[in-house]
Structure 1
Amino acid sequence: MAANRPMAAIDAAMMTGDVLTNPMHVAALMIFTPPPGSDRHYVDDLYRDGLINLGGVDPRLSKRPRIGLDTLGRWVWEDVEVDLHSHVQRRVLPAGSGEPELWQLVADLHSLPLDRHRPLWMAYLIDGLDDGRYALYIKLHHTLVDGVEGMQMIADGLSPDPEARDVKPFYSAGEHAPEPARPEHGLPDPASALSAVAGAAASSIDLARNIIGGGIDYLGAAVEGISPVPMSAPFTRFNDSLGFKRAAAGGSWPLQRFRELADAARAGSGDPVTINDVLMTVVSGALRGWLLAHDELPDSSLIGICPISVRAGEGGAPDGSAGSDSGNMFGLQQCPLGTDLADPAERLTLIHRSMAWAKDQVARRGSAASMLLTAPSLAPTLLLSMLPLTVKWRTGYNLPISNVRGPREHMYYNGAHLDALYPVSTVFDGFGLNATICSYADTVSFGYVAGRSLVPDVDTLIPLTETALAELAAAIGW
């Protein structure tokens, strides 16, 4: 009989949300050019080879969630055998299809929930693009990986060497895959139990101290205008119930454009503006343009909720709340997006100050404290979308915005060049639009996902992103 392992609290909460509200999976879309000399059977061979000679499946992808009377009502992980034919599937686009048709298929696949009776992941090898390229769409439940770990899993299934022909797919046990977890048997010895209780007490005291200190910091930041007060975001269509269907779109730009914009902003203002600040400002400009085009721009600023990594070497977690070797290791912070400001340069200044403060808070207070401090706005955002007869004037946050670093080099899968890497994140009631950014080699990609009933024209955000980028460049004199 397979052994059960309790889920971390944050993962159990996401699994419960998956059951009660909307699917909580994240995804990525990769587009490849086959190696020179490939014939028309190349993708068929690729699919066949991906199902054999793996050398083992990644332990994170070899477990399924379970809850029942025998688990005392707790979510647990259960290790199982993986049927790769169920998890790795083929799709062929109609003749003459291009990227618009590919994105429509991705949106349809993203609408489907993962089967909780099996490990929570799927991969679709997609053929039929009119330029001879093929795509791989990967979908994983958010309880398995956060954005940083998920991107590392993808990178482990690629190689910087165009001549390498022994690369295993992402779902095999790669370089950074954790060791299979060992279930605990029996009761701990008294010394271990006493040590665990003492550690939990100390952790609770640290958490309480960080929550109190963080609350005081929030008040000060609200006075400065760099962190919003709870329930101060304007209610938009993004914050309604989103339905079952999804819409998705993506676009890529040269990373150098954003790097040079950040350099120009630093030189002009003297502030340590980051590339991430520029990326956030461009998303803000695209949202402002979309809302203006639909005559729905609120008088007050939209507020984004931003995951901030607390992995070792990326800020750390002083409260010890993210100490596992895998899974989700991030804090949450809020950021006013300045969509009420017509001047893109003013928007950049606001976002830079807000994000600098947010990163400092997560680094000093830890992920658990930061997430608890966002709860007063997060919970009402989710609940308001489910109450059809409630007056909806304000909400906690408007949309999640995140930025994930992808591979820094050009990558290949057994000779096929990875041309583009797009993030395809999660949406749920109250957060019907998601913007995720991903860097890869010398490019940066924007992925927008939405409830299809809320934002059916999500693809228009791609040209609006280019417009926002050009407007920001003009505003700072670059």
Structure 2
Amino acid sequence: MDPLAPLDAAMMTAELLSDPLHTAALLILSPPEEAGPDFVDALYRDAVTATAELDRRFRRHPHIGVDTAGLWMWRHDDTVDMREHVRRTTLPPPADRKALWELVSSLHSEPLDRSRPMWMAYVIDGLTDGRFAFYIKVHHTVVDGVAGLKMIADALTTDPANRSVRSLFATTSPAAQPAAVPSARRPPSLVRASLTGVTSGVGLARRVALGGLAMTVGHFADGTAALPLDAPYTRFNGRLGRHRTFAGVDFPKSRIRALAHTADVTDNDVLMAVVAGVLREWLAARGELPADTLVAICPVTVRARDHVTDEDRQANLFGLQLCPLGTDLADPAERLTHVHRAMARAKRQVAQGGPAATMLLAAPSIAATVLPPIMPFAPRVRRGYNVSISHVPGPRSQLYWNGAILEEIYPVSTAINGQALNVTMCSYADRVTFGYVSGRRVIPDVGSLIPLTEQALAELETALGTTAEET
């Protein structure tokens, strides 16, 4: 057995006290023109009978007990019954997007079984125009969002004629196999390792101190940084409940890029500003918009996109930053400028301090947000942040799965008590998708966020002088 990384072990412990920490992706595909009526049947049959060796991440599960001295360890499974992990579901007609979102909401509500590899996949057919969907759910200790999308991109192909695409779960290279157990170190090596550890600890403390100073300056100088307890209490800071809700929407990437070019900001800044506009309108319509700005917690990845290093093979490789969203600003253009400055500061912080330092800096805000809902009587006081927002860059080229066209990729991420709304965007080919995940008791009408997303995007286009027709 191998020990879990510290962050992964913390996630497993937190899950025992709070909510499931799995993340998912929903792929929507169209069969090739020559496909027969049994095309989806064949894909499912191939998935459950695949003989290719599974990636090691999909044939191990976390374990803690007396035999591990109370530590989380990976227990490797010699055999994995694919029929326990890959299921088939057919939606009854008329199977529109609303029906698909409801099915995904139900599937995402179910926790993963910790006694076996923590992943599940569903082949879903019955969609309009012959389309079908593939929903894959994995625990966050298995892969993070960036690694998960890279796994999908690596498994699929850009060749529409390729009919021998391997399983999404198959190993890709010898590097994906379990590493050999290192031999015992000699005393000089242990001394050097200890000195390195001490030096690293001193460097980390220095980066945390400098990061805390920069965060304080950013907070008081221009409001682009958030201190612990800066976020006003909202319904997103309450208990999530057992049932999840999901809805998604997609847009041409050209609309996002036109806005970014006009405002001289990044695509990610535009996406963040759109979400800020959605939250402002949704809360205002219910008389719940706080006078102070909402604050988002944003994973900032330090994972390489175009090549894989040994460090990139870790399950989770990102820093965390708090971003004031400017929801107290009525002008969409002014809100975008505010978000741009806040995100630029956040990226500098992670680049300069590293993920470990930013995690430590965010820890008080995380504790102030996710711990109160666990208490029997949690006061509705200020929190560390209100919502989790992230943007995961997906494949840049059109992909195919044994001839089927991958049309859309929707991220279906993690919501927990105190952080009861997660918004994740994913760019793929020439489209950008938004995935909203919450709880039924928090946002019962999650579908209402879809037209608000179009409204917020259109308001930005009007404010900056671009239009959908021009882009």
TM-score interval, normalised by the smaller of the two chains: over 0.9
Q: Identify the residue that residue 171 of structure 2 maps to in structure 1.
A: 173
Cα deviation for residue 62 of structure 1 reads 1.0
CA contact (8 A) 2:228 2:368 kept: no
CA contact (8 A) 2:269 2:343 kept: yes
Q: Identify the residue that residue 124 of structure 1 maps to in structure 2.
A: 122
1:253 to 240, 251, 254: 251
Alignment map for 1:48-447 (pairs within 5 Å): 48-80=45-77, 81-174=79-172, 178-184=176-182, 187-224=184-221, 225-266=223-264, 273-312=265-304, 323=311, 325-447=313-435
Rounded to whole Å, the distance in 1 between the matches of 2:463 and 2:188 is: 63
Q: Identify the residue that residue 451 of structure 1 maps to in structure 2.
A: 439
Paired-residue identity, %: 51
Cα deviation for residue 134 of structure 1 reads 0.5
Rounded to whole Å, the distance in 1 between the matches of 2:90 and 2:305 is: 42
- Secondary structure of the residue aligned to 1:50 is helix
TM-score using structure 1 length: 0.94
CA contact (8 A) 2:247 2:447 kept: yes
Unpaired segments ≥5 residues, structure 2? 467-471
- Secondary structure of the residue aligned to 1:391 is coil
Rounded to whole Å, the distance in 1 between the matches of 2:167 and 2:280 is: 40
Encode CA deviations 1:21-57: one digit per residue, 9 max, x unaligned.
1000000000110011222211111111122344210
Cα deviation for residue 387 of structure 1 reads 2.8
CA contact (8 A) 1:63 1:119 kept: yes
- Secondary structure of the residue aligned to 1:437 is strand
Cα deviation for residue 191 of structure 1 reads 2.6
Cα deviation for residue 362 of structure 1 reads 0.3
- Secondary structure of the residue aligned to 1:117 is coil
Letter in 1 for 2:275: V
Rounded to whole Å, the distance in 1 between the matches of 2:312 and 2:337 is: 36
Rounded to whole Å, the distance in 2 between the matches of 1:305 and 1:177 is: 33
Letter in 2 for 1:227: A
Cα deviation for residue 122 of structure 1 reads 0.6
CA contact (8 A) 2:304 2:312 kept: no
Q: Identify the residue that residue 18 of structure 1 maps to in structure 2.
A: 15
Rounded to whole Å, the distance in 1 between the matches of 2:42 and 2:304 is: 40
Compared CA separation, residues 251 and 294, structure 1 to 2 (3 A): same
Compared CA separation, residues 361 and 313, structure 1 to 2 (3 A): farther
Rounded to whole Å, the distance in 1 between the matches of 2:144 and 2:43 is: 28
CA contact (8 A) 1:54 1:168 kept: no
Cα deviation for residue 197 of structure 1 reads 1.2
Q: Identify the residue that residue 25 of structure 2 maps to in structure 1.
A: 28
Letter in 1 for 2:262: A
Compared CA separation, residues 164 and 323, structure 1 to 2 (3 A): closer
Encode CA deviations 1:330-382: one digit per residue, 9 max, x unaligned.
00000000111110011001100000000000000010100100111110101
Rounded to whole Å, the distance in 2 between the matches of 1:92 and 1:195 is: 59
Cα deviation for residue 312 of structure 1 reads 4.3
Rounded to whole Å, the distance in 2 between the matches of 1:447 and 1:469 is: 15
CA contact (8 A) 1:284 1:337 kept: yes
CA contact (8 A) 1:153 1:176 kept: no
Instruction: Determine if the alignment matches structure 1 residue 469 to structure 2 residue 457.
Output: yes
CA contact (8 A) 1:384 1:395 kept: no
Letter in 1 for 2:245: A
Cα deviation for residue 313 of structure 1 reads 6.9
Q: Identify the residue that residue 269 of structure 1 maps to in structure 2.
A: none
Rounded to whole Å, the distance in 1 between the matches of 2:174 and 2:417 is: 34
TM-score using structure 2 length: 0.95
Encode CA deviations 1:120-177: one digit per residue, 9 max, x unaligned.
1010000111321100000010011111111111112211110001101211113596
Matched residue pairs, number? 463
- Structure 1 consecutive aligned stretches of length 4 or more whose deviation exceeds 3 Å: none
Rounded to whole Å, the distance in 2 between the matches of 1:54 and 1:236 is: 49
Letter in 2 for 1:327: A
Letter in 2 for 1:310: V
Letter in 1 for 2:379: V
Q: Identify the residue that residue 469 of structure 2 maps to in structure 1.
A: none
Rounded to whole Å, the distance in 1 between the matches of 2:376 and 2:186 is: 53
Q: Which one is further off, 125-134 or 275-284? A: 125-134
Q: Which one is further off, 281-290 or 382-391? A: 382-391
CA contact (8 A) 1:153 1:174 kept: no
Letter in 2 for 1:194: V
- Secondary structure of the residue aligned to 1:234 is coil
Rounded to whole Å, the distance in 1 between the matches of 2:11 and 2:49 is: 33
Q: Which one is further off, 290-299 or 433-442? A: 290-299
